[in-house]
């Protein structure tokens, strides 16, 4: 199975690439800077240098061609201003979804954020971020050509993963190690029975594979 990951040098993406490579899958990561390529190769992934803030839908579709699944894990990141929330968290997510449609890649998993809401009020950076994520999620939900799943993790931590989570339509707030987010993503790309679901994710009592199977088809 071949999976292409937008935001391929991100902390969750690098973990996901290692997991996919370890199980014998092909992983490719879209990165903005060529100097990040060695980190991806070390993780077992093929680097694809492409700037999602300036690329055309055709260019991104070319990077997606031949993939079985696509994961949007890009983000403007902490410290970025409101402008990049619009260009990365919203516009790049929409571009990536459109490119998946064009490339004929049906399976798309989007890493969103708990609290993402297209109607979020306010002008603070965090308000703009949650609104941008919410607008991107709403756009993806409208694409019938995709088998999409939207994953909304709680507060991300660098703690070691436990492999135990709560994955439900509504979990309430809580922390989740990036290790465990990556483990859930690795299961989701392979589980198209979760298509059409928006899921929240925090640490919990259920093994990752069991948690994904239990929501599949609901």
Whole-prediction pTM value?
Answer: 0.96
Q: How high is the pLDDT of residue 218? A: 67
Q: How high is the pLDDT of residue 216? A: 93
Q: How high is the pLDDT of residue 1? A: 96
- Rounded to whole angstroms, the Cα distance separating 62 from 57 reads 9
- Rounded to whole angstroms, the Cα distance separating 84 from 80 reads 6
Backbone angles phi, psi at 134, to 5 degrees: -65, -40
- CA-based angle 147:150:153, to the nearest 5? 155
Of 38, 189, 33, 51, residue with least CA distance to 111: 189
- Rounded to whole angstroms, the Cα distance separating 110 from 148 reads 8
Q: How high is the pLDDT of residue 217? A: 72
- Rounded to whole angstroms, the Cα distance separating 20 from 35 reads 22
Quote the tokens at residue 44.
């077992």
Superfamily of domain 2-216: NAD(P)-binding Rossmann-like Domain (3.40.50.720)
Q: How high is the pLDDT of residue 81? A: 84
In order along its 218 residues, the chain shows pLDDT tens digits of 999 999 999 999 999 999 999 999 999 999 999 999 999 999 999 999 999 999 999 999 999 999 999 999 999 877 788 899 999 999 999 999 999 999 999 999 999 999 999 999 999 999 999 999 999 999 999 999 999 999 999 999 999 999 999 999 999 999 999 999 999 999 999 999 999 999 999 999 999 999 999 999 76
Q: What pLDDT digit, counting tens, does each position of 186-206 carry?
A: 999 999 999 999 999 999 999
Q: How high is the pLDDT of residue 74? A: 95
Buried b (16+ CB within 10 A) or exposed e, 102-135: bbebbbbbbbbbbebeeebeeeebeebbbbbbbb
């Amino acid at each position: 199975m071949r999976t292409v990951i937008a935001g391929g040098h991100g902390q969750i993406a690098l973990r996901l690439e290692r997991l996919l490579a370890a199980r014998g899958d092909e992983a490719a990561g879209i990165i903005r800077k060529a100097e990040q390529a060695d980190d991806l190769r070390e993780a077992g992934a093929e680097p694809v240098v492409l700037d999602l803030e300036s690329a055309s839908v055709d260019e991104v579709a070319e990077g997606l061609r031949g993939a079985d699944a696509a994961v949007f894990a890009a983000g403007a990141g902490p410290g970025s201003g409101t402008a990049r929330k619009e260009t990365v968290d919203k516009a790049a997510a929409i571009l990536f979804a459109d490119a998946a449609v064009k490339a004929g890649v049906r399976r798309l998993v989007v890493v969103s954020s708990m609290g993402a809401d297209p109607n979020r009020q306010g002008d603070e950076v965090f308000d703009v971020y949650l609104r941008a994520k919410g607008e991107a999620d709403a756009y993806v939900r409208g694409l019938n050509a995709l088998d999409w799943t939207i994953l909304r993790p709680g507060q991300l931590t660098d703690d070691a993963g436990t492999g135990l989570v709560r994955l439900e339509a509504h979990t309430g707030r809580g922390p989740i190690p990036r290790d465990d987010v990556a483990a859930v993503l690795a299961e989701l790309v392979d589980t198209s029975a979760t298509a059409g679901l928006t899921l929240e994710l925090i640490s919990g009592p259920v093994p990752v594979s069991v948690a994904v199977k239990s929501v599949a088809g609901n």
